[in-house]
Amino acid sequence: MNKSKEQLLNKRYKAEQRFRLYGLSAIFMALLFLTIFIFKIFSTGYSAFQKTWLIVPVTFDAELMMLEQNPSNEDLQDADYYDIALKSMADLDPNANEDQENELKRMVSYFFEKEIKNELLNNPGLIGKTKEVYLTASDDLDQVFKGNYPRDLPEDQRRVSDYQLKIFDQLVAKGKVESKFNISFFTYADSREPELAGIASSFMGSIFSILVCLMIAFPVAVLAAIYLEEFAPKNRFTDFIEVNINNLAAVPSIVFGLLGLGVLLAIFHLPRSTPLVGGITLSLMTLPTIIIAARASLKAVPPSIREAALAMGASRMQTTMHHTVPLSMPGTLSGTIIGLAQALGETAPLILIGMVAFVNTIPGSPMDPAASLPVQIYIWAESAERGFVEKVSACIMVLLGFLIIMNLFAQIIRHKFEKKWS
């Protein structure tokens, strides 16, 4: 009898040990996947924050630029920079034939003319002189310099010719190739050329969408939650509403996109591809999340507080507004931020309402066409150019950073304000 009791006890201890082991290995697996994911993103993406520049001597020849003597600022604006830009590239190899001159030109981005112009506008005294100017390297050479380009492929399968590589290697040997922090990744809008593509337009698009979403979803959701929790009678109708709010939270996001397309664009003719429409669509998606969070935190306010206020002769409205709602705010706000973070990462509904269009301007208001960060990731991931690979990862890093900051903020609000009175 005693022995079997001991066996039983041993068995129970062993079962507990096994269970702990399962739990531990589950956590280990999750961490492993997370580490692999983050490592992959960072190792692919970090190079996007560097940009390769070619340092090319440019002679600001007044004659080639069609400039009179003592030109005014306006003259400088209107001057022709294309010829001196072409000439400075061609001069990299004095023996180049016409085809090779063309190839030399393609070693830098098509912004090279503008970059030379800016140099002169900043320093008009350069006319007639020669100065080394930083020109953005073409995306392929950028990748070559970063070591991401397979140089050993046969030439006809490469976008960089042997000739370009030869000249590039000479420049590298002379120290005329430099890598600098890629500011333009944050300040430029999207572009077909990876070396000129930035996240400014999608970043602003995301910010505007989230703001529109917040301004619509937060008040509507909070009012709905307060009504349902504090005022609505508990009957079949409110039960029905509650079930449907929970259902709404489970509706696939693409359905909301179809709604935006069918109603906002087709019936109300709101401007296509804009953060306004994107924000409204996302707010529909965020509504149930915020309502559920707000109701949960209203429920968590102890009934004794409501009774205290009611017994003092406060009306129901005063009880709610003076006591229940302020006490539920930390929970409601952190739920809101989490809902917004979800909306921030949403892609499918935005694609349907046209925020996937190629936008090379930075939006100044929610009424301007824009992309959003997750859609930008999608657009770049689809592009063929090798230069976009690192850009995709870099954009994911920015989006993740954004999300981490928002979630952190939600945590801080929750902890700081909930502890205050306990």
d(CA 361, CA 194): 16
- Rg of the chain over Cα atoms, rounded to whole angstroms, equals 30
- Contact 353/281 with Cβ under 8 angstroms? yes
Q: How far is the CB of 307 from other proteins (least distance, A)?
A: 6
Closer CB to other proteins, 99 or 307, in the complex: 307
**Window contacting other proteins (CB under 8 A); options: 68-76, 109-117, 150-158, 300-308:** 300-308
- Assess 327 for contact with other proteins (CB under 8 A): yes
**Window contacting other proteins (CB under 8 A); options: 104-112, 204-212, 302-310, 342-350:** 302-310
Q: Which residues contact 111 (CB under 8 A, 6 or more apart)?
A: 136, 196
Residues in contact with other proteins, total (CB under 8 A)?
22
Closer CB to other proteins, 268 or 421, in the complex: 421
Closer CB to other proteins, 154 or 313, in the complex: 313
- Assess 313 for contact with other proteins (CB under 8 A): yes
Site string for other proteins, 233-262 (x = CB under 8 A): xx----------------------------
Q: How far is the CB of 292 from other proteins (least distance, A)?
A: 22
Closer CB to other proteins, 126 or 314, in the complex: 314
- Cα dihedral sign for 153, 156, 157, 160? positive
Footprint on residues 196-215 left by other proteins (CB under 8 A): none
- Assess 308 for contact with other proteins (CB under 8 A): yes
- Assess 421 for contact with other proteins (CB under 8 A): yes
Closer CB to other proteins, 36 or 308, in the complex: 308
- Assess 323 for contact with other proteins (CB under 8 A): yes
**Window contacting other proteins (CB under 8 A); options: 156-164, 236-244, 298-306, 352-360:** 298-306
Q: How far is the CB of 229 from other proteins (least distance, A)?
A: 13
**Window contacting other proteins (CB under 8 A); options: 87-95, 129-137, 312-320, 368-376:** 312-320
Q: How far is the CB of 308 from other proteins (least distance, A)?
A: 5
Q: How far is the CB of 410 from other proteins (least distance, A)?
A: 21
Closer CB to other proteins, 314 or 348, in the complex: 314
- Contact 137/109 with Cβ under 8 angstroms? yes
- Assess 300 for contact with other proteins (CB under 8 A): no
- Assess 309 for contact with other proteins (CB under 8 A): yes
Q: Which of 273, 286, 287, 278 is nearest to 260 (CA)?
A: 278
Structure tokens belonging to residue 243: 């079930």
From the list 247, 318, 361, 411, which residue makes contact with other proteins (rule: CB under 8 A)?
Answer: 318
**Window contacting other proteins (CB under 8 A); options: 134-142, 218-226, 258-266, 311-319:** 311-319
**Window contacting other proteins (CB under 8 A); options: 38-46, 49-57, 238-246, 297-305:** 297-305
Q: How far is the CB of 422 from other proteins (least distance, A)?
A: 7
- Assess 312 for contact with other proteins (CB under 8 A): yes
From the list 299, 307, 360, 415, which residue makes contact with other proteins (rule: CB under 8 A)?
Answer: 307
Q: Which of 112, 54, 118 is nearest to 83 (CA)?
A: 112
From the list 51, 117, 295, 306, which residue makes contact with other proteins (rule: CB under 8 A)?
Answer: 306
Query: What are the residues binding other proteins (CB under 8 A)?
Result: 233-234, 302, 304-315, 318, 322-323, 327, 420-422
